[in-house]
Structures are given as C-alpha cells and as structure tokens.
C-alpha cells in the first residue's frame, strides 16, 4: 500500500503535476510571516506608547474632574484615530500569530494574552521615557521619523468644541483672553456655573474650562485653575505658538 502511494507521488512529481517547494522558498515564506508579525507587534507597541503619552500629557482625562458636565469635553478630546490604529495593529499581530507555528504549540488565548501584556508593558515603559517626547519635537519641527506621526500629536493640541486650556493673557470684565496653541482665544464667563464663590483669576494663570464654543468666543460653564506642570503638551504648544523659550 505504502509502495503504491510512494510510486504514485513520485510519478506526479516527475510529470510536473506536483511541485516541491525548495527549502529557500519555504524559508522565505516563513520569514515573510515572521517579519510581518514582528512589524505589527512593534507598531502596536509604538502606538500604545503614543496613546498613553497622549492621555498623560493632554487635557483629555482632566475634563473628567468636572464630573458629568465634563463628559462631553472628554469625548470631544478623545484620541479616536490613535485608538483605532492601535486596535487594528493589535488584531493584525494576533491574526498573524494565529497563522504561525506558535498557535499550534500553545493555546491561542495564552499567546494573545502574552501579546497584549507585552505590548502594554513595553508601550507604557516607552511612554515614560523621552522617546515619544522626542518624536513630538520632530513632528512639529517637520524633520526626523517623528514627522510621520504629526496628525496624532496635532490631535492633542487641536481646538476643542467643548473644552479649552490656556494661560490668561488679559482679564476684561466678564471675559478672559487666553493664550492657546492656536493663538489668543476669548473666554466668556457670563454663563459660569458657580455652586460656591467663583475663583478669582489673574494674568498668567493656567486655566481649563468646559462649555461650548460659539463662533470666536468660548462660553465657559465651569472653570478651574491648573498647575503649570499639568498637560505639558498643551504648554509646549503655547510656547511654539507664541515663540516662548
């Protein structure tokens, strides 16, 4: 039986009906899959670090300190594009793992958990280093590898519809003129909700407010002073805008 099967296979090989892949082709295919897997995993790590950096250095999470009223501002400033790219890369790496030999050696759920843990661990470590900060500098300078990630960094300082962060440049009655990464902005205090006495503001105070933008004026409903060290990406955007060293 085995001899007949062997003879049949050999005859098909000789006739050209069955073609054998050389070891080189087999190795190239394996390297192609492995390379794609490594690239996807590394990019997932990079975008994980970008996401964590964004949440740490921008105004997004701070809006939640306003309670229920801050949810709309939080959603308005949430990095949807960054999250979407990160999730796609993570799923791509997981799919490639499922196509590799690793998924046969161990249950896929353990491999997937290991991939997620690896990405989060390395990504969070990278976010705490100066690597992402350097990429941000390159992005706005327009040179170096970081320039390709400029859209993701720009989202961190873009003009919000429901929130605003900046430094007080001038106080004019019920209005504040605030320095932001997009220039001077008028903030109206007429709709300010004050359960207690409203805070007193002075020039050079950093503030964060929630409300709604109407044309060229931001109508603040709640406003807080913030420590100068918080939301450093916003501060750097203000320095670039006004050429402050």
My answer on whether 177 and 151 are in the same domain is no
The pLDDT tens digits for 13-49 are 455 544 545 554 444 455 566 777 788 889 999 999 9
My answer on whether 131 and 168 are in the same domain is no
Q: Which domain holds residue 174?
A: 159-244
CATH number where 217 lies: 2.40.50.140
DSSP state of 199: P
My answer on whether 142 and 163 are in the same domain is no
Q: What is the rounded average pLDDT for all residues in the chain?
A: 84
Strands 175-180 and 217-225: unpaired
The pLDDT tens digits for 65-75 are 999 989 999 99
pLDDT for 18 equals 46
My answer on whether 67 and 88 are in the same domain is yes
Number of structural domains in the chain: 2
My answer on whether 52 and 66 are in the same domain is yes
DSSP state of 196: S
Tell me, yes or no, whether 182 lies in a domain: yes
My answer on whether 114 and 220 are in the same domain is no
My answer on whether 201 and 139 are in the same domain is no
Tell me, yes or no, whether 57 lies in a domain: yes
Tell me, yes or no, whether 4 lies in a domain: no
pLDDT < 50 regions, the chain = 9, 13, 17-18, 20, 24-28, 196-197
d(CA 5, CA 209): 79
The residue among 155, 175, 195 that closes a domain is 155
My answer on whether 132 and 174 are in the same domain is no
Tell me, yes or no, whether 199 lies in a domain: yes
Tell me, yes or no, whether 82 lies in a domain: yes
The pTM of the full predicted model, rounded to 2 decimals, is 0.81
Q: Please answer whether residues 177 and 169 qualify as being in contact, where contact means their C-beta atoms are separated by less than 8 angstroms.
A: yes
Q: Please answer whether residues 127 and 54 qualify as being in contact, where contact means their C-beta atoms are separated by less than 8 angstroms.
A: no
Which stretches of the chain are assigned E, i.e. beta strand? 163-172, 175-180, 183-188, 206-214, 217-225
Distance of CA 117 to the CA centre of its chain: 18
My answer on whether 34 and 136 are in the same domain is yes
Tell me, yes or no, whether 35 lies in a domain: yes
First to last CA, the chain: 84
């Amino acid at each position: 039986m085995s001899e007949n099967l062997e003879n049949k296979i050999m005859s098909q090989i000789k006739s050209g009906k069955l073609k054998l892949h050389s070891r080189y082709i087999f190795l190239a295919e394996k390297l192609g899959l492995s390379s794609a897997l490594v690239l996807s995993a590394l990019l997932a790590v990079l975008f994980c670090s970008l996401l964590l950096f964004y949440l740490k250095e921008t105004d997004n999470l701070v809006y939640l300190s306003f309670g229920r009223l801050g949810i709309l501002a939080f959603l308005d400033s949430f990095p949807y594009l960054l999250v979407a790219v990160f999730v796609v890369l993570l799923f791509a790496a997981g799919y490639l793992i499922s196509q590799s030999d690793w998924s046969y050696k161990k249950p896929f759920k353990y491999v997937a958990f290991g991939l997620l843990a690896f990405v989060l661990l390395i990504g969070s470590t990278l976010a705490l280093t100066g690597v992402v900060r350097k990429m941000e500098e390159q992005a706005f300078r327009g040179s170096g590898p970081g320039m390709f990630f400029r859209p993701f960094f720009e989202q961190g300082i873009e003009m919000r519809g429901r929130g605003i962060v900046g430094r007080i440049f001038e106080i004019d009655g019920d209005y504040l003129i605030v320095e932001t990464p997009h220039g001077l902005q008028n903030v109206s205090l007429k709709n300010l909700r004050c359960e207690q006495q409203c805070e007193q503001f002075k020039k050079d105070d950093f503030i964060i407010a929630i409300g709604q933008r109407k044309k060229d004026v931001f109508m603040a409903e709640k406003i807080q002073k913030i420590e100068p060290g918080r939301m450093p990406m916003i501060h750097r955007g203000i320095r670039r805008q006004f050429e402050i060293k």
